[in-house]
Amino acid sequence: MRPEASHKTAKHDKLIICHVERLLRYIAGQHFIDQTGDSTYVLTHYSRALADPRLNHIFIFGSRFISPVFSNFPKFAADTNHHNPTNLLESNYQNRYGPGSSVFAIFKDDPELGTAFNDSMMSFALNKTSWTDIYPIDQIVSELKEGKPLVVDVGGGVGHDLERFRARYPDVPHGSLILQDLPDVAQQAQVQAPAITQAHDMFTPEPVKSAKVYFLHNILHDWPDDQSVEILRNVAKGMEKGYSRLLLNENVIPAKGSHPLATMMDMCMMMIFSSVERTEEHWRKLVARVPELKIVKIWAKLEAVESVLELELA
């Protein structure tokens, strides 16, 4: 595209020109647009992307939700004597909007905000590396024993993670890829053969026995340690010693050099939900509370936000 002279970009009246030009000068300083001459602006790949409404949800959720909630955190921290927040019902969110206020209620009552939240979460997912590119799935397929299930996706929602596996291995035996979630979620699942869906509550013993892989994505970060231990014990009940693998696809906050998007998620957990993204040390202590299981390896990639913790029966 030809560079536009800014005096032509806004020619309505002097006031608008002045206003737009001041904003343009600022965003040029932030390198959202480039300048080639004294008054000539050029699109960058970022400002070109701003023409696409798909980025709007990040702006809407940022300005209407993240900004007021995060800005309140210093006050909340002082009000709670700088204790690490752990109570969802007395979080920074309630400190800002009053006792009893609920994040998910406001998303429901305010459709613009709710949609911006869901779309923002989808953007996060699209900007994270898939588990199938972090963990060597070829190896587990080669080790599969005949007649046994290959992958059980525990709490897999509508099935996008299992679909990523199915897309790579569409020819595995029918029923060897199993999506599990609560009955109402399982009903909405969209899986293609050879994958199947099964209603299952992860707080009950795992019904599928001796699968090669039990996969849990962003499940345990929603739960405090006691409940997480319970979930892990239930999965272990389905596993076969020396054969089955349990894969946890989660943020693992390292002691140094965290991915900025992972620590951003931790700020969201702390400042909205009084929750936490676990460090490697925290994950190791959590698994140590489950004598049936041990960590084999933590698979991570420099470019990936999340890691895959590989566990087996101890």
Partner 1 sequence: MVSNKTAELIAQLNKIDQSTIDDNEADVVAVKHALFAALRRVQSPFDTAMDVCWNNVAAESATRTLVNVGLFEKWVAKGGQPASGHELATMTGVDPELMGASRSLT
Residues that bind partner 1 (CB under 8 A): 30-32, 34, 44-46, 49-50, 55, 58-59, 61-63, 66-67, 70-71, 73-74, 77-78, 81-84, 123, 127, 225-226, 260-261, 264, 267, 271, 276, 278-279, 281-282, 285-286, 289, 302
Q: What is the CA radius of gyration of the chain?
A: 24
Closest distance between partner 1 and the C-beta of residue 26, in Å?
12
220, amino acid identity: L
Structure-block tokens of residue 101: 């206020």
Question: At which residue do the structure tokens 């696409």 appear?
Answer: 52
* CA pair distance 212, 148, nearest whole angstrom: 8
By C-beta, is 20 or 261 nearer to partner 1?
Answer: 261
Shortest Å, Cβ 122 to partner 1: 11
Name, in order, each residue with C-beta under 8 angstroms of 10's C-beta and a sequence gap of 6 or more.
16, 17, 19, 20, 21
Separation of alpha carbons 204 and 211, rounded Å: 17
- Nearer CB in complex with partner 1: 71/101: 71
Amino acid symbol at 290: V
d(CA 96, CA 87): 15
- Give the nearest distance from C-beta 98 to partner 1 in angstroms: 20
Assigned token pair, 238: 């389905």
Burial of 187 (C-beta count, 10 Å sphere; 0-12/13-18/19+): exposed
Nearest to 224 by CA among 77, 84, 129: 84
Active site residues: 221
The distance of closest approach from Cβ of residue 20 to partner 1 in the complex, given in angstroms and rounded to an integer, is 19
Tokens representing residue 17 in the block: 């020109």
Strand order in 177-181's β-sheet? 195-199, 177-181, 151-154, 213-217, 245-250, 307-313, 293-299
How far apart CA 274 and CA 267 sit, in angstroms, is 9
* Nearest-approach distance from CB 82 to partner 1, in angstroms: 4
User: What is the residue whose two structure tokens read 């299930």?
Assistant: 149
